[in-house]
Protein backbone atom coordinates (compact mmCIF):
# COMPACT_ATOMS: atom_id res chain seq x y z
CA UNK A 1 0.00 0.00 0.00
CA UNK A 2 1.29 3.40 -0.85
CA UNK A 3 1.81 5.65 2.14
CA UNK A 4 -0.59 8.45 2.96
CA UNK A 5 -0.60 10.80 5.93
CA UNK A 6 -2.00 8.37 8.49
CA UNK A 7 -0.12 5.29 7.30
CA UNK A 8 3.11 7.27 7.41
CA UNK A 9 2.34 8.09 11.05
CA UNK A 10 1.62 4.45 11.85
CA UNK A 11 5.01 3.08 10.74
CA UNK A 12 7.15 4.65 13.50
CA UNK A 13 4.94 3.09 16.19
CA UNK A 14 5.84 -0.33 14.79
CA UNK A 15 9.53 0.34 15.27
CA UNK A 16 9.46 1.34 18.93
CA UNK A 17 12.12 -0.22 21.13
CA UNK A 18 10.08 -2.40 23.44
CA UNK A 19 10.69 -3.75 26.92
CA UNK A 20 10.02 -7.38 27.80
CA UNK A 21 6.88 -8.17 29.75
CA UNK A 22 4.93 -11.25 30.74
CA UNK A 23 2.09 -11.49 28.23
CA UNK A 24 -0.81 -13.55 29.62
CA UNK A 25 -2.34 -16.58 27.94
CA UNK A 26 -4.09 -17.16 25.62
CA UNK A 27 -2.97 -13.82 24.17
CA UNK A 28 0.70 -14.81 24.10
CA UNK A 29 0.06 -18.02 22.13
CA UNK A 30 -2.32 -16.19 19.81
CA UNK A 31 0.36 -13.62 18.97
CA UNK A 32 3.03 -16.28 18.48
CA UNK A 33 0.86 -17.93 15.82
CA UNK A 34 1.16 -14.83 13.63
CA UNK A 35 3.76 -15.41 10.89
CA UNK A 36 4.19 -13.97 7.38
CA UNK A 37 4.89 -17.47 6.05
CA UNK A 38 1.51 -18.68 7.30
CA UNK A 39 -0.16 -15.71 5.59
CA UNK A 40 1.56 -16.44 2.27
CA UNK A 41 0.40 -20.08 2.36
CA UNK A 42 -3.15 -19.40 3.58
CA UNK A 43 -4.56 -16.19 2.07
CA UNK A 44 -5.94 -16.66 -1.43
CA UNK A 45 -7.64 -13.33 -2.25
CA UNK A 46 -7.97 -9.89 -0.67
CA UNK A 47 -10.61 -7.19 -1.10
CA UNK A 48 -9.38 -4.05 0.69
CA UNK A 49 -11.05 -0.66 1.00
CA UNK A 50 -9.53 2.41 2.62
CA UNK A 51 -10.94 5.95 2.85
CA UNK A 52 -9.08 8.85 4.47
CA UNK A 53 -11.01 12.06 5.19
CA UNK A 54 -9.24 15.35 5.91
CA UNK A 55 -10.89 18.08 7.98
CA UNK A 56 -9.89 21.59 8.87
CA UNK A 57 -9.41 22.27 12.58
CA UNK A 58 -12.02 24.30 14.45
CA UNK A 59 -11.41 25.66 17.95
CA UNK A 60 -14.52 25.31 20.15
CA UNK A 61 -15.58 27.80 22.85
CA UNK A 62 -13.91 25.66 25.50
CA UNK A 63 -10.62 25.70 23.56
CA UNK A 64 -10.84 22.10 22.38
CA UNK A 65 -10.08 21.14 18.79
CA UNK A 66 -12.94 19.78 16.70
CA UNK A 67 -13.52 18.74 13.11
CA UNK A 68 -14.48 21.51 10.73
CA UNK A 69 -15.39 21.18 7.06
CA UNK A 70 -14.03 18.26 5.06
CA UNK A 71 -11.26 19.60 2.84
CA UNK A 72 -10.06 16.49 1.03
CA UNK A 73 -10.28 12.74 0.65
CA UNK A 74 -8.05 9.85 -0.37
CA UNK A 75 -9.40 6.40 -1.34
CA UNK A 76 -7.78 3.05 -2.09
CA UNK A 77 -9.55 -0.08 -3.34
CA UNK A 78 -7.26 -3.07 -3.78
CA UNK A 79 -8.19 -6.52 -5.09
CA UNK A 80 -5.41 -9.12 -4.88
CA UNK A 81 -5.01 -12.77 -5.93
CA UNK A 82 -2.26 -14.87 -4.31
CA UNK A 83 -2.69 -17.91 -6.59
CA UNK A 84 0.75 -18.93 -7.93
CA UNK A 85 -0.75 -19.59 -11.36
CA UNK A 86 -2.44 -16.21 -11.48
CA UNK A 87 -0.66 -13.70 -9.22
CA UNK A 88 -2.48 -10.41 -9.77
CA UNK A 89 -3.82 -7.25 -8.23
CA UNK A 90 -5.57 -4.02 -9.09
CA UNK A 91 -5.19 -0.87 -7.00
CA UNK A 92 -7.51 2.07 -7.68
CA UNK A 93 -6.65 5.31 -5.87
CA UNK A 94 -8.24 8.76 -5.87
CA UNK A 95 -7.29 12.12 -4.35
CA UNK A 96 -9.39 15.23 -3.89
CA UNK A 97 -9.03 18.64 -2.24
CA UNK A 98 -6.21 19.01 0.28
CA UNK A 99 -4.93 15.47 -0.32
CA UNK A 100 -3.80 16.39 -3.85
CA UNK A 101 -0.03 16.96 -3.89
CA UNK A 102 2.66 17.13 -6.54
CA UNK A 103 4.29 13.86 -7.56
CA UNK A 104 7.81 14.29 -8.91
CA UNK A 105 7.75 10.86 -10.52
CA UNK A 106 4.95 11.77 -12.93
CA UNK A 107 5.51 15.55 -13.00
CA UNK A 108 2.05 16.64 -11.83
CA UNK A 109 -0.41 16.30 -8.96
CA UNK A 110 -2.39 13.04 -9.33
CA UNK A 111 -6.12 12.82 -8.74
CA UNK A 112 -6.45 9.22 -9.96
CA UNK A 113 -4.15 6.22 -10.27
CA UNK A 114 -4.84 2.68 -11.42
CA UNK A 115 -2.20 -0.01 -10.96
CA UNK A 116 -2.59 -3.51 -12.38
CA UNK A 117 -0.42 -6.61 -12.17
CA UNK A 118 -1.61 -9.39 -14.46
CA UNK A 119 -0.37 -12.46 -16.25
CA UNK A 120 -0.09 -12.34 -20.02
CA UNK A 121 -2.47 -15.04 -21.36
CA UNK A 122 -0.82 -18.30 -22.46
CA UNK A 123 2.63 -17.19 -21.26
CA UNK A 124 4.79 -17.37 -18.15
CA UNK A 125 5.22 -13.58 -17.97
CA UNK A 126 3.41 -10.77 -16.19
CA UNK A 127 2.97 -7.04 -16.81
CA UNK A 128 2.69 -4.24 -14.25
CA UNK A 129 0.94 -1.10 -15.52
CA UNK A 130 0.35 2.14 -13.62
CA UNK A 131 -1.85 4.82 -15.16
CA UNK A 132 -1.89 8.19 -13.39
CA UNK A 133 -4.15 11.15 -14.22
CA UNK A 134 -4.27 14.75 -13.04
CA UNK A 135 -7.06 17.29 -12.71
CA UNK A 136 -5.96 19.18 -15.83
CA UNK A 137 -6.16 16.10 -18.06
CA UNK A 138 -2.55 15.00 -17.66
CA UNK A 139 -1.80 11.29 -18.01
CA UNK A 140 1.27 9.22 -17.29
CA UNK A 141 1.54 5.50 -18.05
CA UNK A 142 4.34 3.34 -16.63
CA UNK A 143 4.61 -0.17 -18.08
CA UNK A 144 6.87 -2.93 -16.78
CA UNK A 145 6.79 -5.92 -19.13
CA UNK A 146 8.23 -9.44 -19.17
CA UNK A 147 8.11 -9.99 -15.41
CA UNK A 148 8.72 -13.56 -14.31
CA UNK A 149 6.61 -15.45 -11.78
CA UNK A 150 9.17 -14.69 -9.08
CA UNK A 151 8.78 -10.96 -9.66
CA UNK A 152 4.99 -11.23 -9.68
CA UNK A 153 5.06 -13.22 -6.43
CA UNK A 154 7.29 -10.61 -4.77
CA UNK A 155 4.90 -7.81 -5.73
CA UNK A 156 1.90 -9.71 -4.35
CA UNK A 157 3.64 -10.69 -1.12
CA UNK A 158 4.71 -7.09 -0.55
CA UNK A 159 1.06 -6.06 -0.41
CA UNK A 160 0.16 -9.06 1.73
CA UNK A 161 2.73 -8.51 4.46
CA UNK A 162 4.81 -5.45 3.58
CA UNK A 163 8.53 -4.90 3.89
CA UNK A 164 10.47 -8.06 4.75
CA UNK A 165 12.67 -5.97 7.08
CA UNK A 166 9.85 -5.30 9.54
CA UNK A 167 6.77 -6.90 7.93
CA UNK A 168 4.87 -3.61 8.03
CA UNK A 169 3.08 -1.70 5.30
CA UNK A 170 0.85 -4.53 4.05
CA UNK A 171 -2.42 -6.09 5.13
CA UNK A 172 -0.62 -8.22 7.74
CA UNK A 173 -0.26 -6.74 11.24
CA UNK A 174 0.96 -9.79 13.14
CA UNK A 175 4.57 -8.71 13.65
CA UNK A 176 3.45 -5.15 14.44
CA UNK A 177 1.15 -6.46 17.17
CA UNK A 178 3.83 -8.73 18.64
CA UNK A 179 6.18 -5.76 18.86
CA UNK A 180 3.51 -3.58 20.44
CA UNK A 181 2.50 -6.33 22.88
CA UNK A 182 5.81 -6.12 24.74
CA UNK A 183 4.72 -2.76 26.11
CA UNK A 184 1.00 -2.50 25.38
CA UNK A 185 -0.53 -5.98 25.64
CA UNK A 186 -3.06 -4.61 28.16
CA UNK A 187 -4.74 -2.80 25.24
CA UNK A 188 -5.24 -6.05 23.31
CA UNK A 189 -8.32 -8.20 23.86
CA UNK A 190 -10.69 -10.68 22.27
CA UNK A 191 -14.38 -9.83 21.65
CA UNK A 192 -16.45 -10.08 24.84
CA UNK A 193 -20.10 -9.88 25.90
CA UNK A 194 -21.56 -7.43 28.41
CA UNK A 195 -20.35 -9.56 31.30
CA UNK A 196 -16.78 -9.53 30.02
CA UNK A 197 -16.75 -13.15 28.87
CA UNK A 198 -14.81 -13.85 25.66
CA UNK A 199 -17.24 -14.66 22.85
CA UNK A 200 -14.79 -15.51 20.08
CA UNK A 201 -11.12 -16.11 19.35
CA UNK A 202 -11.62 -15.46 15.64
CA UNK A 203 -10.25 -11.95 15.95
CA UNK A 204 -8.06 -9.76 18.14
CA UNK A 205 -8.72 -6.10 18.99
CA UNK A 206 -5.97 -3.55 19.66
CA UNK A 207 -7.14 -0.23 21.11
CA UNK A 208 -4.20 1.73 22.56
CA UNK A 209 -4.55 5.30 23.86
CA UNK A 210 -3.78 8.16 21.52
CA UNK A 211 -0.12 9.12 21.57
CA UNK A 212 1.96 12.19 20.90
CA UNK A 213 4.07 11.62 17.80
CA UNK A 214 6.57 14.46 18.27
CA UNK A 215 7.51 16.20 21.47
CA UNK A 216 6.88 19.94 21.37
CA UNK A 217 4.39 19.70 18.52
CA UNK A 218 0.62 19.51 18.44
CA UNK A 219 0.62 16.17 16.67
CA UNK A 220 -1.03 12.94 17.79
CA UNK A 221 -2.18 9.62 16.44
CA UNK A 222 -4.98 7.27 17.55
CA UNK A 223 -5.52 3.69 16.35
CA UNK A 224 -8.25 1.06 16.66
CA UNK A 225 -7.35 -2.20 14.93
CA UNK A 226 -9.11 -5.56 14.49
CA UNK A 227 -7.21 -8.50 12.95
CA UNK A 228 -8.15 -12.10 12.18
CA UNK A 229 -6.42 -15.28 13.38
CA UNK A 230 -3.66 -14.77 10.81
CA UNK A 231 -2.96 -11.20 11.90
CA UNK A 232 -4.61 -9.76 8.77
CA UNK A 233 -6.42 -6.45 9.16
CA UNK A 234 -10.23 -6.74 9.16
CA UNK A 235 -11.13 -3.21 10.23
CA UNK A 236 -9.00 -0.28 11.26
CA UNK A 237 -9.71 3.29 12.32
CA UNK A 238 -6.91 5.84 12.44
CA UNK A 239 -7.23 9.43 13.61
CA UNK A 240 -4.37 11.86 13.24
CA UNK A 241 -3.90 15.54 13.95
CA UNK A 242 -1.17 17.66 12.39
CA UNK A 243 -0.64 20.90 14.29
CA UNK A 244 1.57 22.40 11.59
CA UNK A 245 -1.21 22.09 9.00
CA UNK A 246 -4.01 22.48 11.59
CA UNK A 247 -5.71 19.50 10.02
CA UNK A 248 -7.38 16.29 11.16
CA UNK A 249 -7.27 13.07 9.14
CA UNK A 250 -9.58 10.12 9.76
CA UNK A 251 -8.90 6.82 8.00
CA UNK A 252 -11.29 3.84 7.84
CA UNK A 253 -10.30 0.38 6.58
CA UNK A 254 -12.34 -2.72 5.79
CA UNK A 255 -10.82 -5.87 4.33
CA UNK A 256 -12.14 -9.34 3.52
CA UNK A 257 -10.28 -12.49 2.54
CA UNK A 258 -10.72 -15.91 1.01
CA UNK A 259 -8.41 -18.76 1.92
CA UNK A 260 -6.84 -21.76 0.23
CA UNK A 261 -8.38 -25.12 1.21
CA UNK A 262 -6.56 -26.80 4.07
CA UNK A 263 -4.22 -29.53 2.88
**What spatial distance separates the first Cα and last Cα of the chain, rounded to whole Å?**
30
Q: Is pLDDT larger for residue 17 or for residue 96?
A: 96
Q: Determine, yes or no, domain membership for 190.
A: yes
Q: Which ranges of the chain does DSSP label H, i.e. alpha helix?
A: 5-14, 27-32, 36-42, 149-161, 174-184
Per-residue pLDDT for 44 more than 80? yes
Q: What Å distances lie between residue 89 and 1, 129, 190, 215, 237, CA to CA?
A: 12, 11, 31, 40, 24
Q: How far apart are CA 66 and CA 71, in angstroms?
A: 14
Q: Determine, yes or no, domain membership for 33.
A: yes
pLDDT confidence bin for 220, thresholds 50/70/90 = confident
Domain around 203: 5-256
Three-class secondary structure of residue 41 per DSSP: helix
Q: How far apart are CA 220 and CA 60, in angstroms?
A: 18
Mind listing the pLDDT tens digit for each residue in 199-210? 999 999 999 998
Q: How far apart are CA 147 and CA 244, in angstroms?
A: 43
Per-residue pLDDT for 14 more than 80? no
Q: Determine, yes or no, domain membership for 140.
A: yes
What are all long-range contacts of 212-221, with beta carbons under 8 Å and residues at least 24 apart?
Answer: 213/9, 213/12, 217/243, 217/244, 218/243, 219/243, 219/244, 221/6, 221/9, 221/10, 221/13
Per-residue pLDDT for 13 more than 70? no
* Structural domains in the chain (count): 1
Q: Is pLDDT larger for residue 147 or for residue 4?
A: 147
Q: Determine, yes or no, domain membership for 263.
A: no
Q: Determine, yes or no, domain membership for 261.
A: no
Q: How far apart are CA 57 and CA 242, in angstroms?
A: 9
Q: Determine, yes or no, domain membership for 36.
A: yes
Per-residue pLDDT for 251 more than 80? yes
Mind listing the pLDDT tens digit for each residue in 67-108? 999 999 999 999 999 999 999 999 999 999 999 999 999 999
Q: Which of 240, 220, 228 is nearest to 204 (CA)?
A: 228
Per-residue pLDDT for 213 more than 70? no
pTM of the entire structure?
Answer: 0.90
184 φ/ψ angles, rounded to the nearest 5 degrees: -125, 30
Q: How far apart are CA 254 and CA 243, in angstroms?
A: 28
Q: Is pLDDT larger for residue 155 or for residue 22?
A: 155
Q: Determine, yes or no, domain membership for 53.
A: yes
Q: Determine, yes or no, domain membership for 262.
A: no
Q: How far apart are CA 177 and CA 24, in angstroms?
A: 14
Mind listing the pLDDT tens digit for each residue in 154-199? 999 999 998 887 788 899 999 999 999 999 999 999 999 999 999 9
Per-residue pLDDT for 18 more than 80? no
Amino acid sequence: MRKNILLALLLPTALLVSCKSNIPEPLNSYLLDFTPNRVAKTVHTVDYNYVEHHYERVVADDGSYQYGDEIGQYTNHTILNNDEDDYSYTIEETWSGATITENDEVGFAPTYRFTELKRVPDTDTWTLTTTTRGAAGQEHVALNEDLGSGNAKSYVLYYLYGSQDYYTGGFYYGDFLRTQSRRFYQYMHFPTDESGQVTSYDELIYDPPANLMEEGKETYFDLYLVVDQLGMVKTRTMIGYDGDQQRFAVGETEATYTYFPEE
